[in-house]
Structure 1
Amino acid sequence: MFIVGVTGGIATGKSTVCDVFREYGIPVIDADVAARKVVEPGRKAWRLIKKEFGDAVFHKDGQLNREILGEIIFDSVEKRRKLNEITHPEIYSEMFWAAVKCFFQGKLACHQFIVMDLPLLFESGSMLDYLYKIIVVTCEEDLQLQRLMERNSMSESKAKKRISAQMSLERKCEQAHFVVENSGTIQDTREQVLQILYILRSYKAHWKLRAVAGLCCTGLVSFLIWIGFKFLYSQQSAVPRRR
């Protein structure tokens, strides 16, 4: 099983692309879903955010107030960096274990690959070494701005501030293996994703990865068996013999 990363800019249509993969039975691990889990009340990231930003960024019931926190971090590069330091390790840990679960399920369900929806893939750089292929979802800049304003009921100035906080779409596309242009109709986007899906399904990398994983598991089991026999032998040697 190999991992395909889907990234792009805010409001470019990553979720639309991932929905097509889901429709065809490809597991999708969403960084935004993981991000919501790791800031649930009582969890490590929740406690660190509370310590760093105070009670003002939480609702009365203890849930994180994302709107207020967003206002703070998009007005300060340093505070945004600090939040990322708190949340990113927890988010990627959550996604890692979700991927492990998919791998072991895949031996039965034959998952050739999984998709990770990673909005800040290039900005953080943390997951780049684990991805076999990268898909960047892009669209025209004025359309991106319009979508963000409508989706989040956001003013133009605030929307521009959030877009400018990310790496440019041009730079992301330069580092992609595949680019999905999402400025047209949903059908246009869908056809592009299906072409990529066809190519990804032609790759054989998952068999190599499974072979390596199988050898590692076999080696681990053999090592544990050897340790077990050695322990039993030492126990038997320690028993005094009767004369």
Structure 2
Amino acid sequence: MVIAGLTGGIATGKSTVARFFKAAGAAVIDADQIAHDVVRRGLPAWQGIVAAFSRDVLREDGEIDREKLGRIIFNDAARKSALNRIVHPFVFEEMEKQMREIEATAPETVVIQDIPLLFESGMHRKLPRIIVVYVPEALQFSRLMKRNHLSAAEARARIRSQIPIEEKRNLADILIDNSGTLEQTRERSLEVYAMLKRSVSRP
């Protein structure tokens, strides 16, 4: 089994690359989706969030209002850390469970751990290779404004809440440049997948 972490910056196209990997045959473990799943109503992480942030962060149906919670923690490092301490252990536990299942049933698989905040969470230290999806910051900025309908100030604040994409680029073992056409990104993604697949059979 070959394992790689996949990350990028907001609006750099990481999810697009993850889809290309999955279509090629990789098993993609989606940390963001797991983070959504583990905070569903009544689960232990949900209970921890309600205890720490009160029922004010719930929607009418009792699920976590992610937008409201996001606004609370966005400019508050202490509360963001508190949320991460609640949620991350459950996310990591589920990721490990999925890894064990893949290893037991399909050991020749290329496994991609899709983790948006890979460097910010420190998870990169546990992975043998890191793939970074990159675009120059100016393009990241314009794509984010367009995609999320944000003002320049809002987009800038979102980007600055993460490690700069240029720094992530320098930390990458494998780089996928997503500043060209979609087809170019697909071709590069398939090239990387083929390289990883070849290494599965190596001792």
TM over 0.5, shorter chain: yes
CA distance, structure 1, for counterparts of residue 50 and residue 119 of structure 2? 27
Q: Does 1:74 align with 2:74?
A: yes
Picking from 191, 198, 202, the partner of 1:202 is: 198
Aligned to 1:156: 152
Q: Give the CA RMSD over aligned residues.
A: 1.6
Contact kept, 8 Å, 2:57 with 2:68, in 1: the verdict is yes
Q: Compare CA radii of gyration and give the structure with the larger one.
A: 1
The verdict on how the C-alpha distance between 1:154 and 1:55 changes in structure 2, with shifts beyond 3 A counting, is farther
1:115 maps to a residue whose letter is I
Aligned to 2:86: 86
CA distance, structure 1, for counterparts of residue 177 and residue 165 of structure 2? 11
CA distance, structure 1, for counterparts of residue 105 and residue 124 of structure 2? 22
Q: What are the within-5 Å matches in structure 2 for residues 50-199 of structure 1? A: 50-107=50-107, 110-111=108-109, 113-129=110-126, 131-199=127-195
Compute the TM-score of the two structures, normalised by the length of structure 2.
0.93
Higher relative contact order (CA 8 A, sep 6+): 2
CA distance, structure 1, for counterparts of residue 10 and residue 46 of structure 2? 24
SS of 2:113's partner is strand
Q: Does 1:48 align with 2:48?
A: yes
Contact kept, 8 Å, 1:121 with 1:128, in 2: the verdict is no
Tell me by how many angstroms 1:12 deviates. Answer: 0.7
CA distance, structure 2, for counterparts of residue 68 and residue 170 of structure 1? 30
After alignment, is 36-45 or 153-162 more displaced? Answer: 153-162
CA distance, structure 2, for counterparts of residue 54 and residue 136 of structure 1? 36
Deviation readout 1:78-107 (Å, 9 max, x if unpaired):
111111111111111111111111111204
Deviation readout 1:15-65 (Å, 9 max, x if unpaired):
111111111111101011100011101111111111111112110111111
Contact kept, 8 Å, 2:132 with 2:174, in 1: the verdict is yes
Deviation readout 1:182-238 (Å, 9 max, x if unpaired):
11110111121122122212214x665xxxxxxxxxxxxxxxxxxxxxxxxxxxxxx
CA distance, structure 2, for counterparts of residue 19 and residue 126 of structure 1? 21
1:30 maps to a residue whose letter is D
Runs of 5+ unmatched residues, structure 1 = 209-243
Aligned to 1:13: 13
Contact kept, 8 Å, 1:74 with 1:161, in 2: the verdict is no
Tell me by how many angstroms 1:158 deviates. Answer: 2.2
Q: How many residues align?
A: 203
Runs of 5+ unmatched residues, structure 2 = none
SS of 2:180's partner is coil
Identity of matched residues, %: 41
SS of 2:106's partner is helix
Runs of at least 4 residues of structure 1 off by over 4 A? Answer: none
SS of 1:203's partner is helix
